[in-house]
Structure 1
């Protein structure tokens, strides 16, 4: 599904179901150098169980046009533009890593429009090491290898998100290379990392969030370890925490665990 957002095409995967205005909506937001496909199990399940699903490619990534966001705030404005374009009064937001900060900022800027906030593999501040920042700019293929080593635990059991025989690290590397190549004008890898590293509004944003918040954290996460999310957890008004035996790539290392956490969280009261 292609939606015009602020004059540029934004792609949203709908889980194979048409958009129905009468149904509740959940928006999935990916992290740095990912796309909508990282949510394939969770988005498809919800699309077939009463939800409108909009798993987006951020602007300038994958199938979306426009300028890649240079900040969390830029990306948040695009999420609100998506809701405006489809006349969605209120939606649940689910974000991973960089996407979790985007979802947080959106819920803070427009609390009346967000029913649930789920932050997967999150941290605040979400600082990026100088070595990784430099590699993402000057040696992006090396940086992709570095990120994938840091993002996956050594205990991730088969089968993975796509079934027996899937190679988690290889699949993730291929996705990141594809997303990097999708925008020859801008290095979306480095730009995304700079946006994460420079975001300094997390605690203020969480103070403005009015909806329930779910934190899905990986006990073995080296990129955003659970302790790095605690400043947000403490400030969340209706916070819930689920820890999974996974690294940073939670949706592929423990797809069922992420899905079950979202199922419970999004269940009507």
Structure 2
């Protein structure tokens, strides 16, 4: 039987607050042999939100603040990430188990489910295993299969040019691959500032934790099972996404019955930052 404890979240960075922003309640849930950090914000229809690889709830703060004005947002720090426990080894199946466990603990029979990058892989797994429990599905910069994580694939592809580079230089190289070539410098700087703030808050992963997070994404393939998804589905890709190219999202939309596919023409892997107006317009219209 799961147990959890909850407390009112206090915003430690008051410059980012808004008068109309709903209060958030943070919970530590004991599920599947570990502690998961879950945050609930707003009221109404439940929307479960899942972040990307090596990220955390804070990376979804803009989406949480915006979408919680009209619904109850449940954001999860995936195992191995954020303020959740970080086991030395786990799998994508474990991530799926955790999301369903959170839904069970909160007595959520059916939800809207939104995942970005790694979160979109987890969301696909949930929608495949428990189709009736996902009413609407939003997959942002997704792929449906991979021998490795997308980050590991890019590092391998660019191994020659990265040889002899410092860790900081490698990180800078990968950081630039996240964006479209035309993404303005202020947008890039805002993401870097967010990453630096998360580092100050102790939310960044150690090299060992990073390795475990990447290994969890090795060797999955949802393509044969995607036709079983019954949720209304919106797939969003960035035209210049080097990690999960738009062809990956288009293929997912072809495999899920009735799915809608949208490409943001001026975005890379983070359309929420690169084209926020278009990004939120698509999602809010879809979720109604």
TM-score category, normalised to shorter length = 0.7 to 0.9
What is the TM-score with the length of structure 2 in the denominator? 0.77
Aligned pair partner of 1:241 in 261, 284, 288: 261
Deviations 1:156-199 (A, max 9, x none): 24764xxxxx7145236536756986555x73322333333421
Check if 1:12 corresponds to 2:38.
yes
Equivalent-residue separation in structure 2 for 1:81 and 1:143 (angstroms): 37
2:227 counterpart of 1:213: no
- In the superposition, relative to structure 1, how do residues 169 and 191 fare at CA in structure 2: closer, same or farther (>3 Å)? same
The Cα offsets for residues 3-41 of structure 1, whole Å up to 9 and x where unpaired, read as 4133433222334x4xx5xx3111111111111122222
Which of 144, 147, 154 is 2:171 aligned to? 144
Q: CA deviation at 1:257?
A: 2.2
Higher relative contact order (CA 8 A, sep 6+): 1
Alignment CA distance shift 1:246-1:183 (3 Å): closer
Q: Which has the higher strand share?
A: 2
Taking the aligned partners of 2:61 and 2:119, their CA distance within structure 1 comes to 15
State the structure with more CA Rg: 2
What is the deviation of 1:227?
1.2
1:93–1:116 Cα contact (<8 Å) kept = yes
CA-atom RMSD in angstroms: 2.8
Structure 1 residue 206: Cα displacement: 1.0
Q: Is the 8 A contact 1:98 1:192 kept in 2?
A: no
Structure 1 spans left out of the alignment, 5+ residues: 161-165
Q: Which residue of 2 aligns with 1:262?
A: 283
Aligned counterparts of 1:36 and 1:191: Cα–Cα separation in 2: 19
The residue number in structure 2 matching 1:163 is none
1:72-125 deviation digits (Å, cap 9, x = unpaired) = 211011000000111111111111111100000001011111111111011233
TM-score of the pair, normalised by structure 1: 0.82
Unaligned runs of 5+ in 2: 1-25
Matched, 1:30 2:57: no
Number of aligned residues = 252
